[in-house]
Amino acid sequence: MPHLATGRLCCLLAGTTLLLSACVESPTRDAQPAVASPSASTPAAPAAAPQVKAQVAPAPAISFSAWRGQFRIKALRAGIPAELFDRAFNGIDPDMSVVRADHSQPEFTRPVWEYIEGATSPIRLRKGQALLAEHAATLAAIEQRYGVDRETLVAIWGMESSFGQFMGEQSVIRSLATLAYEGRRPQWAEEQLLAALQILHNGDIQPGSMRGSWAGAMGQTQFIPTTYLTHAVDFDGDGRRDIWNSSADALASAAHYLQASGWQFGQPWGMEVALPSGFDYALADSEIRKTYAQWIEYGVKGQPGNLDPQQTGYLLLPAGHRGPAFLVFRNFNAILKYNNSSSYALAVGLLGQRFGGGGQILAEWPRSDRPLSRSERIELQEGLATQGYNPGPADGIIGANTRKAIRAYQQSLGLPADGYPTPALLQRLR
């Protein structure tokens, strides 16, 4: 789901995880439990993870009906017909499940290797391969028009909605109205709600059929309304941009979004690499970008394939220096704009490769490690701040500032400065 910075909500949807059975597979979500977090290293929570309350917005000062009346004035001024507004809001009251989801964050997270293994499961792999064959003509036409590789599109399709099986069953109008009335980010929610009403005004979908997630993500590609307005396309030519019922429209819309995000056709998203003994792990930073030739000078080795030698990339250590290392490039960043999570982008890239028989990770994951819980991540940030480092707010999100603080602390201890939080590092702080 495209990132909030470009009009998409990615990070609020961390609660949906892989629920595998013999027949069906739910969509995979991977993002931090905070909106527009710069961090993208922590995979999604287990299905039964306890929830921890986040900062709760104050109780609304007015009733929902009074808010609705005020918002109706805004909507009509924005060009929404009164008849459409009244029809869309008929029977709409706040959804307390949306409030609970908005005010909660997962305490525990899954290890990145479990997330990727679930995301690239044999069930999803087989189904994706079958759909690549079934929709070959449509995908070829999308490739030609938008220059986005079909394997990546089908991988995103599988990750976002399990190829259209799980798109969310909640009323988008009701969810967004709830968030606008008593959510933590009312201005954002009102913007999305106005966009949703504009979609209805355009005639692409009827109010009763506009279903999605609790946060307003819609359709087979899980677009939020503002992204729908700017990037959804009518690829099947029926006069409607229908990302709910038309796989052609959904896939082409995702391709249009990736194209706008800088996707380069035929170029790799990245590759697994081997690092030399004594490598300076502080170089594994998304802000340190070099060409592949420059990385070779540091002893980094990989299989570049058809990589444009002028492309620059950065080193990614999703499980710290003890796990696999990846060089990632421009197309990886385009996937991050869809969902600002490195685990998600890795899963999309690897799944797309596995459709063609590749994408196997050679290095071993540090399976004896466990991810820090949210409470422990907050404690880590507080401890770093106490020691004089600057991790940013103690919010449990391991973003760029926290990683820099961890690296500085690791360097002070003579440890590999990979910026990766571990229970052992937290114990040192304690």
What span, in angstroms and rounded, lies between the C-alpha atoms of 28 and 43?
10
Structure confidence at residue 371 (pLDDT): 93
Structure confidence at residue 58 (pLDDT): 65
What span, in angstroms and rounded, lies between the C-alpha atoms of 101 and 198?
26
Structure confidence at residue 106 (pLDDT): 84
What is residue 25's three-state secondary structure?
A: strand
Structure confidence at residue 56 (pLDDT): 53
Residues whose CB is less than 8 angstroms from the CB of residue 84 and which lie 6 or more positions away in sequence, other chains included = 197, 200, 201
The residue type of 267 is Q
Tens of pLDDT along 266-290? 999 999 999 999 999 999 999 999 9
CA dihedral sign, ordered 82, 85, 88, 89:
negative
Question: Percent of the chain at pLDDT above 70?
Answer: 87
Structure confidence at residue 31 (pLDDT): 37
Mean pLDDT of 39-53: 37
Q: Which of 246, 282, 256, 219 is nearest to 412 (CA)?
A: 282
Mean pLDDT of 210-236: 97
Question: Percent of the chain at pLDDT above 90?
Answer: 82
Structure confidence at residue 178 (pLDDT): 98
Give me the chain's average pLDDT, please.
88
What span, in angstroms and rounded, lies between the C-alpha atoms of 235 and 138?
9
Residue 385 has pLDDT above 90, yes or no: yes
Q: Where are the beta strands (DSSP E) in 222-289?
A: 270-274
Q: Which of 328, 358, 367, 361 is nearest to 125 (CA)?
A: 358
**In the sheet where 325-328 sits, what is the strand order?**
290-291, 312-316, 325-328, 270-274, 301-302
Confidence of residue 36 (pLDDT cuts 50, 70, 90): very low
The length of the chain in residues reads 430
What is residue 276's three-state secondary structure?
A: coil
Structure confidence at residue 263 (pLDDT): 98
Residue 323 has pLDDT above 80, yes or no: yes
Contact present, 301 and 325 (Cβ < 8 Å): no
Angle between helices 186-202 and 64-77 (to 10 degrees): 60
Structure confidence at residue 170 (pLDDT): 97
Domain locations in the chain? 374-429
Tens of pLDDT along 225-238? 999 999 999 999 99
What span, in angstroms and rounded, lies between the C-alpha atoms of 399 and 107?
17
Assessment of whether the complete model's pTM goes beyond 0.85:
yes
What span, in angstroms and rounded, lies between the C-alpha atoms of 412 and 419?
13
